[in-house]
Amino acid sequence: MNRLAIFSLRNRALIALVTVVVAIFGGIAMSLLKLELIPSITFPQLVVVTNYPGASPVIVEKEVSTPIETAIQGVNGLESTTATSQNGLSQITAAFAYGTSLESAEQKVQLAINRISNLLPAGIEPQVIAGSFSDIPVLQMAVTSDLAPDQLNQALKDIAVKELTKLEGVRDAAVFGANGEHIAIVPNDKELDRRGLTTTDIQTALQTAGIRIGAGSVMSANGELSIVSGTPLASLRDIRSVPVTIPYKPPAVTVPKVPDFPTISVSPRLSGTWSLDELNGGECIEPYEPGTTPASYTVVECDIAHSAQLVRVGDLRTDAGIPIYPGDAAIGPVAMGECISSGVISATAKATYPLLTTAPLLTTDFFYPTSQTQWNKGNTFYYCIAHSFSVEPVTESVAGSRVNTVVPAAPAIPGSSATSPSSFAGSTTTPTTLSVTTIGELSRVSIQPDVITSISRVNGQPSLTLAITKRADANTVDVSRAVVAALPAITDLLGNGTEFTVVFNQAPFIEKSIESLAIEGLLGLVFAIIVILVFLLSIRSTLVTAVSIPTSLLLTFIGMWASNFSLNILTIGAVTISIGRVVDDSIVVVENIKRHLSLGEERMVAIRDGVKEVATAVTASTITTVAVFLPLAFVGGLSGELFQPFAVTVTIALLASLFVSLTIVPVLAYWFLGDKKPKKNVSTKPTKPTKPAKSGLEDNDFLQRNYRPIVRWTITHPLATMLIAILTLGGTLALAPLMKTNFVGGSGQSTITLTHSTPGGLTLMDRAAVAEDVEAKLLDYPGIETVQTSIGGGNGFAAFNGQAGNIIYQITISDEVDADLVRAEVTRDLETITDTGEIVSAQGGAFGSQTIDITVKAPSEETLTAVTAAIATAVTETKSADSVTTSLDDTQSYISISIKRKEAARYALSEVLIGRTLTGLIAPTAIGQVVIDDVTMDLIVETKNSPDTLGELRKFKLTTPLGGTVLLSKVATIGITETAASRTTERGVLSASVAVTPTSDNLSESTAAVNAALASVTLPSGTTATVGGVSQDQVESFQQLGLALLAAILIVYVVMVATFRSLRQPLLLLVSIPFAATGAIALQIISGIPLGISSLIGLLMLVGIVVTNAIVLIDLVNQYRERGGSVIESLLDGTSRRVRPVLMTALATVFALTPLATGVTGSGGFISQPLAIVVIGGLLSSTILTLLVLPALYSLVEGRKERKATRRAQKA
């Protein structure tokens, strides 16, 4: 690296130009960096959401959640799945390993679902959703107006949404909390019956109308033109005009009696298996899977009255007088059987029907016809056996059978020419046109408001919510500013007293955090410069050294821009942390140059030799510091995703500082340091190294004069020194249990989200009334500015706020008050809400979940409920639990309809048939959508006779397949049941969770208490309970970062072996690392800041930083030994001359980090503050011990080696 310095000195003008270019492009790059809260992280998680209207959690689990969860188990990279089944909703969370391509995973999950789509209930469409931090709304506003909610909703969509989505960077503007509209089609039952139609005919007509289909293209004079067939439905008139075809109904069959021939009557009792062709639809058949076509159906016992008679072909006619010939389809219960050829009845027919043998038959010779037209020629007649059946089900049908009103065809007559109705493939004569009616004649068509499922209020006033999301590559702050700037104009366009209230905005917190970190960084820069000035006592030297800070940072911004990083609390924290470190290399270089100049050397020679002496040391120390971040590339989970940009940013800054110290700093030193001008034609060749001599030491130097006696004592008393150091280290480690621990500390955001769990059975309006009391209490708190209430969903975060029965309060707090203190007070004061539920969680100012979660798995629902309750009780009794909630706490009441299978079978009814009938009546689903006046609305076929109360439900009459009606209460038991609002499974096993909010910020203590409480609960066989949540996140992160720390130490050792070309000396230098822990632990305990993942990243940095001091110290000692000095003499001279740069670099870093550690600005430091505290504490202790313990250890090891060498030389 010394050659780089020599090149710079020879090309000083070029270096000056490069510096100017770096300053310009660095400033440009900094202005182009996006501003975000945290790096954009795509969670390796997919959510499969499926709506199943009207289905209970049990049904949703059985018919939707379990099949889908099972189907996706084979997707590569899948780590775990959790299925939650709620009323009408299935949500399956599939977690993948970090680094998995979610685009590929999403395709594979969708493909797996498509494979089992035929097993899912008809009409449902699972949606696969992937999310990242970019999906969190940038801005969320409550909108109030004098307009009615539906009018305001439409106005927002027509004006606000269109205007906002035009803004640069805005991906979507979504309105929540609105009560939309749909097109209701209410059939007229009398009109349907009169025309022989059903509701299904209306649905089919609507689903096939208004569809535009591409029909290819044709050539014309104007070129190729595309063909598009179909006209969309665009108005209510269009919908009312949709035609409905009245199906042709063949008239009844008249079977004339032929007096010359007898009628044979038989009544067999049929049972067994008939082929599909032998059934004209099937009567009394065993259940089969919907949508399948089995080869056979099992017939349960039925009484079938069968009559057969011989009729002359042509005599059997329809009511319209149309003859029925063999080859025609069976009409009603009549089917043509065997026909007689040449006047002879087959032996099989005679055996089956003995009376036929007595029938007089014409014996005229004739041929067997081959077509319908040949059946009647002149006076020649043919005779066929006409079979007639009437079917009566047995009173007691077989258990489990399903009974449908379908008439079986004639039993096969072996040897006959026609064995079943399917043989008669033809059909009776039908008219060439059909009768047509319209939707308007059959039903009432109108636009109706949707059922209210959610309520949104701001400060107690009804409102809608407008959520703004940005594109992934957009600048959060710029998007927020653009939206806020556009609001006044949009407000004017909307009019009618419309007002926007911002309830959530990422930008102010981002701006405040970055501004705070920038201020703390600038303060750190000033403090570092002051330290340098105090040590160097030269303004010129200080300025030359200080130039490295802005230059290195500008180079860092260029690297960040090239790496597509954003400015967020992690990357700006990395830049701030780097301020103290980037000046270290320049300090060492400038201090050594100044020392050489003080010896009277010519300026170029002094600079060249000064740089040469330290080039290896500063390069090795920088590479060592950078190398410690390499293991972070292998750290998985959230910690790795968060801190990889941090590590890369620090790496860029440190490499930039090395470049600056070996290029720009020597040139600036040549221009500004020393009074003597260089002689012309000065050789730039290296000179011989100077010999160690006391003349090289500054006797009047305060540091050297006071440090030299101390280090002499440690060198001459190495064992005593090591003993003191070990006792110090041991005593500090003994204090380690006093440290608090956490995962990631509070972010200090001025928003709080309260989740209010209400008792089961409350209606939406009941919960709205409950919320009014809570809103009033919240608005009385000083410092609370706005309270947005969401009931039943309805805001941008609704999907992430738990069960639908909860009430969500999103609170905005003034910057003048402590958000964490307000959260604690609110939670404590609202504990009195016992009759209307409880506040089950209060999240705010925290990054991610802050609860300790216990996952319980059990083989049955009863066991799961009992064990979950026992664990919750045990944990509640501990002092470490602030609040304890379970996923089973949220209950709901629902009407349970238990079908009496045996009774229902009497009426040909089944559970599925009854359930679908009720769903279609009470909760009809959309059969399609139409766009009217640019508004997309659902088409819903409703009924005017749907039951609205429990009493009406019990009296509801079901139409049976056999004809007639039956009371629902006769075929089912109807009652109210309370159950958990959701059912959760993990890989098909029932599970529940217990969420524990710790009372303190000491996560390890709380986790220990939870584990102890869990151990006191006896778990039944087959039941498991595991601790997870933030506790698991902490354990996994600590384990991974601990391994990264060990890997970093190994990497540092390898780098030092390459630097010193020795296996022994690098081991001596590593002694600085454990001593760094003493200061880090002590300062963590003193400050009360918990040890989290930020602290561990600080320890990772310390490994490189503290070894840097050791490298700088020992490198010069080795140089002196190479020049012939003894171990003691080289140690005394080397350490004395390095005490100043070592202390300067250490104190510059410490003072640069002091503003961050103290949090002087009060925000934005939840990541940087713990890191800075660890680095400061570790650097202080390691520096002191490095200056005292390392020389003693070096003397102990190398002195022994030297003495052995001396003895060998004497013997030789």
Number of Cβ within a 10 Å radius of residue 722? 16
- Measured between alpha carbons, how far is 669 from 604 in angstroms, rounded to an integer? 10
Residue-level pLDDT at 960: 81
Treating both helix axes as pointing N-terminal to C-terminal, what angle do 1127-1158 and 702-716 enclose, rounded to 10 degrees? 120
Q: What percent of the chain has pLDDT over 90?
A: 8
- Measured between alpha carbons, how far is 51 from 600 in angstroms, rounded to an integer? 85
- Measured between alpha carbons, how far is 624 from 628 in angstroms, rounded to an integer? 7
Q: Can you name the CATH fold of 697-734+1062-1212?
A: Multidrug efflux transporter AcrB transmembrane fold (1.20.1640)
Lowest model confidence (mean pLDDT) among 32-41, 739-748, 910-919: 739-748
Lowest model confidence (mean pLDDT) among 191-205, 240-254, 407-421: 407-421
| Structure-model confidence comparison of residues 348 and 134, the more confident one | 134
CB 994 within 8 A of CB 872: yes
pLDDT tens-digit readout, 854-884? 999 998 888 998 999 999 899 888 888 877 8
- Measured between alpha carbons, how far is 95 from 82 in angstroms, rounded to an integer? 9
Residue-level pLDDT at 384: 56
How many residues comprise the chain? Answer: 1212
First vs last C-alpha separation in the chain: 40
Residue-level pLDDT at 458: 84
pLDDT tens-digit readout, 1015-1031? 989 899 889 999 888 88
- Measured between alpha carbons, how far is 557 from 574 in angstroms, rounded to an integer? 11
Residue-level pLDDT at 829: 76
pLDDT tens-digit readout, 880-916? 887 788 888 777 777 888 888 888 888 888 887 887 7
- Measured between alpha carbons, how far is 417 from 351 in angstroms, rounded to an integer? 16
CB 650 within 8 A of CB 559: no
Residue 469: its H or E element: strand 464-470
Asked whether the predicted pLDDT for residue 17 surpasses 60, the reply is yes
304-326 average pLDDT score: 53
pLDDT band at 309 (very low <50, low <70, confident <90, very high): low
- Measured between alpha carbons, how far is 1212 from 1199 in angstroms, rounded to an integer? 20
Asked whether the predicted pLDDT for residue 620 surpasses 70, the reply is yes
pLDDT band at 491 (very low <50, low <70, confident <90, very high): very high
Lowest model confidence (mean pLDDT) among 16-25, 146-155, 254-263, 999-1008: 254-263
Asked whether the predicted pLDDT for residue 748 surpasses 70, the reply is no
Which range, 159-163, 622-626, 829-833, 1164-1168, is most confident? 159-163
pLDDT tens-digit readout, 625-663? 888 888 877 777 777 777 888 888 989 998 998 999 999
pLDDT tens-digit readout, 581-597? 788 888 888 888 888 88
User: Shortest CA distance to 443 belongs to which of 235, 185, 675?
Assistant: 185
DSSP type of residue 631: G
User: Shortest CA distance to 629 belongs to which of 1105, 1002, 311, 977?
Assistant: 1105
Strand partners, 786: 812
319-334 average pLDDT score: 48
Lowest model confidence (mean pLDDT) among 348-357, 463-472, 678-687, 790-799: 678-687
CB 1078 within 8 A of CB 1181: yes
Asked whether the predicted pLDDT for residue 551 surpasses 60, the reply is yes
Residue-level pLDDT at 558: 94
Strand partners, 754: 809, 842
Residue-level pLDDT at 1164: 54
Residue-level pLDDT at 160: 92
Asked whether the predicted pLDDT for residue 974 surpasses 50, the reply is yes
Q: What is the 3-state secondary structure (H, E, C) of 1006-1018?
A: HHHHHHHHHHCCC
Record the pTM.
Answer: 0.69
User: Shortest CA distance to 372 belongs to which of 334, 333, 322?
Assistant: 322
pLDDT tens-digit readout, 768-786? 888 888 888 888 888 888 8
pLDDT band at 747 (very low <50, low <70, confident <90, very high): low
| Structure-model confidence comparison of residues 266 and 153, the more confident one | 153
Q: 296-312 and 269-275: which strand pairing? A: antiparallel
Lowest model confidence (mean pLDDT) among 202-206, 829-833, 1029-1033: 829-833
Superfamily for the 33-135 domain:
Multidrug efflux transporter AcrB pore domain (3.30.70.1430)
Location of structure tokens 């089917």: 335
Residue-level pLDDT at 316: 53
So what CATH class is 183-248+434-447? alpha beta
Q: Can you name the CATH fold of 538-675?
A: Multidrug efflux transporter AcrB transmembrane fold (1.20.1640)
CB 1055 within 8 A of CB 624: yes
pLDDT tens-digit readout, 96-132? 887 788 888 888 999 999 989 888 887 788 988 876 6
User: Shortest CA distance to 1160 belongs to which of 232, 524, 730, 549?
Assistant: 524
Residue-level pLDDT at 484: 93
Residue-level pLDDT at 385: 53
Number of Cβ within a 10 Å radius of residue 545? 31
Q: Can you name the CATH fold of 138-174+450-515?
A: Alpha-Beta Plaits (3.30.70)
Strand partners, 451: none
Residue-level pLDDT at 133: 66
Residue-level pLDDT at 341: 41
Residue-level pLDDT at 700: 56
Residue-level pLDDT at 833: 61
Asked whether the predicted pLDDT for residue 557 surpasses 90, the reply is yes
Q: Is 304 helix (H, G, I), strand (E, B) or coil?
A: strand
CB 787 within 8 A of CB 780: no
Q: Considering the chain, what is the average pLDDT of its residues?
A: 76
User: Shortest CA distance to 49 belongs to which of 122, 104, 102, 113?
Assistant: 113
What are the phi and psi torsion angles at 181 (to 5°)?
Answer: -125, 160
pLDDT band at 1059 (very low <50, low <70, confident <90, very high): confident
Residues 6 or more apart whose CB falls under 8 angstroms from that of 15 comprise 8, 663, 664, 667
CB 175 within 8 A of CB 161: yes
Q: Burial, 125: exposed, middle or buried (Cβ in 10 Å; 0-12, 13-18, 19+)? A: exposed
Asked whether the predicted pLDDT for residue 572 surpasses 60, the reply is yes
Domains 138-174+450-515 and 750-823 share a fold: yes
Q: Burial, 621: exposed, middle or buried (Cβ in 10 Å; 0-12, 13-18, 19+)? A: buried
Strand partners, 436: 245
- Listed by start position, the domains of the chain span 33-135, 138-174+450-515, 183-248+434-447, 253-423, 538-675, 697-734+1062-1212, 750-823
Q: Is 509 helix (H, G, I), strand (E, B) or coil?
A: helix
Domain 750-823 maps to which CATH number in 3.30.70, 3.30.1680, 3.40.50, 1.10.260?
A: 3.30.70
Residue-level pLDDT at 164: 92
User: Shortest CA distance to 269 belongs to which of 420, 406, 411?
Assistant: 411
pLDDT band at 556 (very low <50, low <70, confident <90, very high): very high
The CA-atom distances, in angstroms, between 794 and each of 413, 464, 806, 930 are 67, 8, 12, 24
Q: Residue 534 corresponds to which tokens in the numbers above?
A: 């105090």
- Measured between alpha carbons, how far is 154 from 570 in angstroms, rounded to an integer? 41
pLDDT band at 310 (very low <50, low <70, confident <90, very high): low
| Structure-model confidence comparison of residues 327 and 424, the more confident one | 327
Q: Which amino acid is at 1158?
A: T
- Measured between alpha carbons, how far is 757 from 767 in angstroms, rounded to an integer? 10
